[in-house]
Amino acid sequence: MKLNFDLNLLIVLHVLLEERSVTRTGERLGRTQSAISNALKRLRDHFDDPLLVRTPDGLSPTPRAAELAPLVARILRDAGTAIAPRGGFDPATASAQFAIGAPDRFNLPVFLPLLEHLGRVAPGIVINLRTTDRDYAIRLIDEGEIDMAVGWFDATPPHLQRRLAFEDRFVCLCRRDHPLVAGGLHPTLDEILSYAHLVVSSTGDRRAAFDAVLDRHGVHRNIAATLMSFTIVPELLLASDLIGVFTHRTAEYFVERYPLVTAPVPLEVAPIANHLIWHSRFDADEAHGWLRGRIERACADRLDEGARAIRLRA
C-alpha cells in the first residue's frame, strides 16, 4: 500500500488540537508561525475539511477534527512506543507467557525447581508445559505452538538453535529390598532382563529409548506396563517386583524421596545428550534468552546456588 502523506503533519495536527493556537503550536514544536500555518493548509487540503476554525476563544475543531483527535493521538503514541529504545529486561516486573515442550521425565527433576524459582524471581512469567517427544517438539516449534523444548534430539533442522543442557545415563530403579539387588547394587544385564519392566513413554508407546539400545545388542525385555507419566511410578515399584530403566536424573529424584535404589545398567551406552532447542527468530529476544538461561541452570542443577550452599553449611 502506497501512502502519499507526510506523517509529520499528524504531529502538527495533534498539537494544534491541544493548543488551539498556531502561535503556541509553533512554540511547542520549535517552528515558525508561517510553517505551522502552511502545515494546517496542507492538512485542510488532504482532509477536505477546515479542521480548525477561528472563534473568539481561539481555534475550534470541526466535527471531522474532533473525530480525528483520538485516532491521531493513538497513532503518535503507538509510533513512539515502536521507535523507542528497548529497555533492559527485568524479570521481577516482566509479564509474559512461554510454552515449553519436554518429555515427562524432566518435570520433577528440572521443571519443578524451575517453576519454584520463577515464582520467586519472576512472578509475572507464566509457563505452560507441553509433554513432547523429539519429532513432536520440533513440529510444535515450527508451528509456533511452543517457544522452546528440552530433550534428546538426534538431529534438528538448520533454522533451530540447540545448546547442550546436560548429559544423562540409564540406571535401573527398584525398591530397596528387591531381589534384583539382594546380592549388591551391580546386577548383570541378564538379571535385569529377567524381571518385568515398567516403561514410561510420552507417546504411550510400549517402547522407550532404552529398547532401541537393547535392539542394538540383540536382546529385549519383558514390558509389563506402560505409562505416559511418572506420577505413580514410585508406588508401582514399591508394591511389586517391577523394575524400571530410566535416566539417572529422574531416578535420583525418586531415590531421594522414596525407599528406592538405583543400579547401573551394564551396557556400553554413550551418555544421553539432552539439548535445549528454539527457533532462530528468538535469538535476540531478551525475555526468551533470559528464560533459556534459567532452564539451562535448572538442567545443570544450579538454581539458587546461594540458598543451597547455606543449607549445606547448616
Residue 289 maps to which CATH number?
3.40.190.10
**What band does 309 get if pLDDT is binned at 50, 70 and 90?**
very low
Distance CA(151)–CA(295), nearest Å, equals 12
In a domain, 25, yes or no: yes
Asked which of 41, 56, 81 is the last residue of a domain, the reply is: 81
Q: Which domain holds residue 102?
A: 96-165+274-313
Looking at residue 87, its pLDDT comes to 64
Q: What percent of the chain has pLDDT over 70?
A: 94
Asked which of 81, 112, 144 is the last residue of a domain, the reply is: 81
Is the pLDDT confidence value at 51 over 50? yes
In a domain, 43, yes or no: yes
pLDDT tens, position by position, 231-264: 999 999 999 999 999 999 999 999 999 999 999 9
In a domain, 89, yes or no: no
Looking at residue 307, its pLDDT comes to 43
Q: Are 141 and 281 part of one and the same domain?
A: yes
Q: Are 161 and 307 part of one and the same domain?
A: yes
The packing angle between helices 8-19 and 22-29, to 10°, is: 130
pLDDT tens, position by position, 160-211: 999 999 999 999 999 999 999 998 999 999 999 999 999 998 777 778 889 8
Residue 53 is part of a domain; what is its CATH number? 1.10.10.10
Q: Which residue has the cell 502545515?
A: 39
Asked which of 35, 53, 81 is the last residue of a domain, the reply is: 81
Average pLDDT, the chain: 89
Looking at residue 73, its pLDDT comes to 87
Using a cut of 0.75, tell me whether the model's pTM lies above it: no
pLDDT tens, position by position, 121-156: 999 999 999 999 888 999 999 989 999 999 999 889
Q: Are 25 and 48 part of one and the same domain?
A: yes
Distance CA(49)–CA(177), nearest Å, equals 91
Looking at residue 88, its pLDDT comes to 74
Q: Are 139 and 280 part of one and the same domain?
A: yes
**94-120: string of b/e by CB count within 10 Å (b at 16+)?**
eebebbbbbbbbbbbbbbeebeebbee
Strands (E) in the chain, as ranges, are 52-55, 58-61, 96-102, 125-131, 148-152, 160-168, 170-175, 197-200, 223-227, 244-247, 260-264, 272-279
Q: Are 174 and 260 part of one and the same domain?
A: yes
Q: Are 56 and 126 part of one and the same domain?
A: no
Looking at residue 182, its pLDDT comes to 93
Task: Count the domains in the chain.
Answer: 3
| Strand 148-152 to 96-102 pairing | parallel
Average pLDDT over residues 73-86: 76
In a domain, 91, yes or no: no
Distance CA(233)–CA(223), nearest Å, equals 14
In a domain, 44, yes or no: yes
Q: Are 191 and 244 part of one and the same domain?
A: yes
Average pLDDT over residues 291-301: 93
